[in-house]
Structure 1
Amino acid sequence: MSAVVVNEFGGPERVESAELPVPRPAAGQVLIRVRAAGLNPVDGAVRAGVFGGAGQRLGLGWDVAGEIAEVGADVTGWSRGDRVVGLHYGPVKPLGTHAEYAVLDASAVAAAPATVDAVAAAALPLGGLTAARAVDQLGLAPGATLLVTGAAGVVGGLAVQLAARAGLVVTALAGAEDEELVRSLGAAAFVPRGAAPAGPVDGVLDAAVLGEPALGFVRDGGVYVGLRPGAAPAAERGIRVEEQEVAADGRHLARLVALVDEGALTLRVADAFPLADAQKAHALLATPGTRGRIILTA
């Protein structure tokens, strides 16, 4: 089978296509025939060597949408041919989801949305779980005010939608050109990049990883949730500062799938490329202003 891998760290030119054996699922796992897989910023970071792993072949890809091709021992509830989405967690791994086949823990997958195709569905797992877990981690009650930085990005945009649905009053911070977009996702107010909200907010979900400047927008005793482990600012003024680390969770993913099928969660795709054009996809990933998830198809 074809798979996208990195053997040396660097830019998009380091992305390679390799012919590898089709993996087999162990107990508690499923083999998925990949139809589409999201290309995330974390894949660019793996390619660049941010997470280490020098001297070994690294597979790329966390998101997947496809059909179950084989189930391992002790797996119940899934059968060959079931359409699924899933999250293959982990930056340093020999094979990711950017391949014709991928093995995931059965607990990491959910039935695929019925209302969108595999390309759109592949934009859900990592971004959706990150945003949903961050909104939950804020712990804000309906009516509370929330600022989402990077609100036009994939995770930020999903966070705007989920927070608004939870009854929070969302202010979106993004580029001036994205005001219409973020308002369409449910933002009640808009702040252009480089500006500050009209007043302190109860919480900040820092999808843009602004750090201390974003913390400064939070009222005394409020809450800040960052999305890059190790990058959160030091707590001050009684603000609760936390970081979100995504996890593979099929049950939580199933709830997000239900929101997609209800029309309550919009998935955005910037472009799709076949596996053979993975270098082009990585070049687009590095292009500022790309809106929506980039997808690889197999």
Structure 2
Amino acid sequence: MALSSVCPTEDAVREFLEYLVDPVIPATSSVRDSPSPSQQQWVAKQVHGVVILYNYYHRKQHRQLEFLGFESFCKLIAVLKPPLLAYMKYLQRNDDAELVDPEKQLSLTEKTIMNACDLCMRLSASKDIPDIEGWSISEVAVFLVDSRKENCLLLFSKDGNGVWSLFEKDVDISNQSSEAMPDLKQCKKKRIKKCKKKRITKKPLRDDPSINEDAMQQLAFSSVKEATAISQAHLSILESHTVYSLGKEKSTSRFYIMQWTQPTSEDAIQVPIYAFWVPIKDAIDRL
């Protein structure tokens, strides 16, 4: 690809900030603001996405672009989006003290940037496919399409953060209810016995996604039902994949493409005010 067709680092990061961070920062924000804890969490989550999009995905397509480390990324986004300085602690220090204790010296957003940069380094944009063998499953995600496979149901600003998202649910054996995770609990108690006619090894259950498929599917179905009231009887799994997670280091996400088998109409399903049917082509074009 010609260099002239590559979106430069600064322009790419600016676009990612406008798309992901602008919706969660109040229009009247300034450097002197003291963001609330919830506001800091929202901004940190969105900035995490910006780091991943540039340092991994954008550079994976244009490998000649430079990798931005922690300090470089912090300085760049502070220049491109000055209100973000209110979410920085180390960057606003009055001395030249070295970073020796990230837990104390960094803000939540800065810690998130550091972790995201480390994650991108481990995934490595130079590899076509990252090595995720042995990584635990930390979440399930569902891409839901209608009966005609023309539209997908996406969630918008579910938590008031102004961003689009899929149906998602965390995987945590210790905190799952018996109703949501029956197979996981059964397998945990019978590590060396048969579970669903499969042999289980003695290594941690979450390290082997193949033996958790029934439980993963139940979590996926419940993530849709909780948001839309669509029952499992009206859902069909078209595809499933285990992909690397962009939220937790060295973990994966069980990703499902599901189809709602009933005709799409306002009378047939009542979706919450934060869920919208979007043409699949439009959703993909925005990626």
TM norm structure 1:
0.23
Work out which of the two has the higher radius of gyration on C-alpha atoms and give 1 or 2: 2
TM norm structure 2:
0.24
Greater helix fraction, Structure 1 or Structure 2: 2
